[in-house]
Structure 1
């Protein structure tokens, strides 16, 4: 089994057939953890900002 088998589908893409602003987020995060940093940035340019925000959020809690 691949990690992609466990990813949540985008409801906007599923209903309307177009990618939303957040499409590619899950795949980009997986790419970061796999060490594919350039590909992750191309998939979802805000991935590093999102990861820094999540780290800050969890460090406060």
Structure 2
């Protein structure tokens, strides 16, 4: 793509930092994760009903 095509495009251009790969699979906030899991265990997830399309 040329720069003009990119400028006219409505799709955002996102560049990901390669350093993020180092964090893949690591839990950064274990306390918050434990609390979120505890809340989900008590409350559960909402049930989603599918609407019929006419």
Specify the TM-score bucket, using the shorter chain as the normaliser. under 0.3
Q: Which has the higher helix share?
A: 1
TM-score between the two structures when normalised by the length of structure 2: 0.20
